[in-house]
Chains A and B, each alone.
Chain A
Amino acid sequence: MASLRYERRIAASADAVWDVMCRPESIPDWFPGVVSCSVVGKSRTIVTASGLEMPEEILTIDPLLRRFAYRITAPAYRFHLGLIDVIAIGPRDSLCIYSTTAEPDALALIIAGGTLGALEEIRRLAETSGKE
């Protein structure tokens, strides 16, 4: 099992960052390469730009902790846990941490590679949202 974590310091309030990514159906807006998704209850299926469908299970959406947790349940994964945490640092200063733990290891690397772009997009959207 491999675990990788990337983070971005964002010049926006933690609430503004959380607003960008807290809705499961919003993922095509902020994860580059996710072109669409469908959400039914706690199940989400994303479709990537390469045409791949990946079923996921939403585990946690906690607005108090500002934690979003999900699991990719596609057969290629023996295990996956994705965690997005938003930590308030100041009124317009926050840290967004995107962690990927997966088995096989190679899949952790591939998904985590994608989360780098997601963090950048979350930062861009939060910093331009105009929300306090």
Chain B
Amino acid sequence: MGRKILFITTDQQRYDTVGANGGLLSRTPVLDRLADEGIRYERCQPTSVVCMPSRASMLTGQFPTTHGAWMNGVPLAVDAPSVAESLHDAGYATALIGKAHFEPFMDPFGRFAENSLANLGVPTVEQPWFDGRRGVHRGFDHLELATHGVMGPLHYAKWMHEHHPEAIDGFYSVVDSDLNVNAARGGDTDAPQVKVNPVPREWYHTDWVADRTISWLKQQSHEQDWFCWMSFPDPHHPWDPPRSEIGRVPWRDVPLPANYPETSAEREALLDAKARHWRAWYDGRVVSNYEAPAHWIPATLTANQVREVNALNAVEVELIDEAIGRVLKAVSAKGWGDDVDVIFTSDHGELQGDFGLLFKGPYHVDGLLRLPLIWRPALSSKPEPSVVHAPVSLVSLAATFLDVAGQPAPAWVEGSVLPLNDDDAHARSFSSTVTEWDSALFGVDVHVRSVVTSDYLYTEYLPGTMHDGSEGELYDLSDDPLQRVNRFDDPAMTNVRATLSEGLRAHEDRPGERATPGVLMAPV
């Protein structure tokens, strides 16, 4: 019997929402304990700040420019490499419960397996694998899927419609009648993507994901090794947690984020110092990407709306923490308490009021780039608790899972096993990570590359419809942790900029085979 792996992801959760990371709004005792017992990463970056490319990187261990799912709406090739396939080959039972999103949600023709499983009533389907064999879909024996609401063909929506149809209308409608991300307002402050949801807590998707995970775990024999990806759709918007829970964090008591500029003059000055698309979005002149509501203008965001959104976000984070606690209890009840590696992270962050903005897009700052990452190795391996300050990336997850399982990393994996501590990080040259952005939607093309080191966050904007290739951002993380002072054009930073730019060139020129970039099939 080897080490089992519980891989827990959330969607769109910032680093600073976890108590162990200094977060004060939400109480996260379960995550905090995992961090105390294991390894907490101070600076973890995604490969992309939107769901599909980032999640595909977790599965493949590759950057988006390698795996080919370069923006939301571009499906990951069904025969792309998958760490779940490798673990399946190693004898692991494999499950993904919750949000997958390797394939577009908007799929009226039912062409993608993720969208067909619930209707087919089967746990998985056979598909081609990377190495030419055929096997279970992306290596998972069992998939039970959910997303942010109750519409669509996934398991959670089907379950809600079958068992609790009276609760459907309580949820916020994620998209509007034009299938754009909805700008409809709600709550006490008329905030976008906010709604008071009367759904009982036990029917909400957070508890559903935990319930279904526990159910799957109970079916495994004690000796069976397993890899379970438990993937919560929250705290991604809409912010519509169960009404019974919203009193946990009264929004009027929520302080404004450190990076929320309270006056419009301050906001605009900060945005004007960044690349031009920041201010264009803020003013409502351009919505560069589908993930932000098409009919919402960030300049209209009020301080109280930021407070209410952050309060509801914190409630959702607390519900997730409690759901994880229930699952860990079930793991212990099966006698696996010492034999399970638990890895917790999110696919990308959320601006949550930083610079007067909400949601996400091609804005590579800590709100979107800096993620919670906690690895509590199996207690039987006698882990030494540590905090890793070196920059690491979600691209390392696949290699890490395989290492836990005692398997060598295949050639297609681009990331190295996560470091156990700073000495390990130093010895294995964990010194920088890269985040990519590419989008091309309705005539707006944006292409961004960022590199983060312990000292700097450096971004280059490649030529597109918004940028001519000459723009960029450079932040000195040691004296400007909120990334307010863009030093891209500062002559004193010429050498720093050249070194970081070389890092990006090295990333572009990295060896290895690249998949043909996929084709955009849907907005998301």
Contacts and interface: CB of A to CB of B under 8 A. Distances in A.
A130 B135 CA distance: 34
B122 to A, nearest CB: 15
B153 interface: yes
A122 to B, nearest CB: 15
Given A106-B178, A106-B179, A109-B73, A48 B108 contact: yes
Given A50-B115, A107-B179, A109-B73, A32 B520 contact: no
Interface string A30-53: 011110000000000000111110
B108 A52 contact: yes
Chain B interface helix/strand/loop/mixed: loop
B510 interface: no
Nearest to A52: B108
Contact of A105 (B104, B109, B115, B442): B442
Interface stretch (A15-23, A60-68, A91-99, A110-118): A110-118
B111 A114 contact: yes
Nearest to A1: B442
B248 to A, nearest CB: 35
B523 interface: yes
Residue among A2, A105, A113 facing the most chain B CB atoms (10 A cut-off): A113
Chain A interface helix/strand/loop/mixed: mixed
Nearest to A31: B109
Residue among A52, A110, A117 facing the most chain B CB atoms (10 A cut-off): A110
Interface in B160-188: 175, 177-180
A5 to B, nearest CB: 13
A33 B110 contact: yes
A104 B153 CA distance: 22
Interface in B172-208: 175, 177-180
Contacts of B106: 106, 110
Given A34-B109, A48-B108, A48-B109, A113 B179 contact: no
B108 A114 contact: yes
A124 B522 CA distance: 24
A110 B180 CA distance: 12
B157 to A, nearest CB: 12
B338 interface: no
A49 B117 CA distance: 12
Contact of A109 (B109, B110, B115, B522): B522
B179 A33 contact: no
Nearest to B290: A106
B522 A49 contact: no
A76 B520 CA distance: 21
B108 A50 contact: yes
A51 B158 CA distance: 14
Contacts of B519: 113, 116
B178 A49 contact: no
A105 B180 CA distance: 9
Contacts of A52: 108
A19 to B, nearest CB: 23
A12 to B, nearest CB: 23
A33 B106 CA distance: 13
B477 interface: no
A62 to B, nearest CB: 26
B116 interface: yes
B522 A110 contact: yes
B107 interface: yes
A114 B73 CA distance: 12
A61 B449 CA distance: 48
B24 interface: no
Contacts of B178: 104-106
B517 to A, nearest CB: 14
Nearest to B109: A33
B523 A106 contact: yes
Contact of B109 (A2, A32, A76): A32
Contact of B153 (A50, A113, A114): A50
A34 B111 CA distance: 10
Contacts of B442: 2, 105
B105 to A, nearest CB: 10
Contacts of A50: 107-110, 115-116, 119, 153
A110 B110 contact: no
Given A33-B109, A48-B110, A109 B520 contact: yes
Residue among B111, B177, B180, B519 facing the most chain A CB atoms (10 A cut-off): B111
Contact of A117 (B108, B111, B116): B111
A52 B109 CA distance: 8
Contacts of A107: 179
Contacts of B116: 49-50
Nearest to B523: A106
A109 B178 CA distance: 12
B90 interface: no
Contacts of B180: 104, 106
Contacts of A48: 108-110
Nearest to A35: B110
Contacts of B269: none
B521 interface: yes
A130 to B, nearest CB: 28
Residue among B73, B108, B180 facing the most chain A CB atoms (10 A cut-off): B108
Nearest to B74: A113
- Smallest CB-CB A-B distances: 9 pairs: A33-B109, A49-B110, A113-B521, A104-B178, A106-B179, A50-B110, A114-B109, A106-B523, A110-B522
Given A48-B108, A104-B178, A110-B521, 4 more contacts: A33-B108, A48-B109, A114-B111, A116-B519
18 contacts: A48-B109, A48-B110, A49-B109, A49-B110, A49-B111, A52-B108, A76-B179, A104-B179, A105-B178, A105-B442, A106-B106, A107-B179, A110-B107, A113-B104, A113-B519, A113-B520, A113-B522, A116-B521
Interface of A: 2, 31-34, 48-52, 54, 76, 104-107, 109-110, 113-114, 116-117
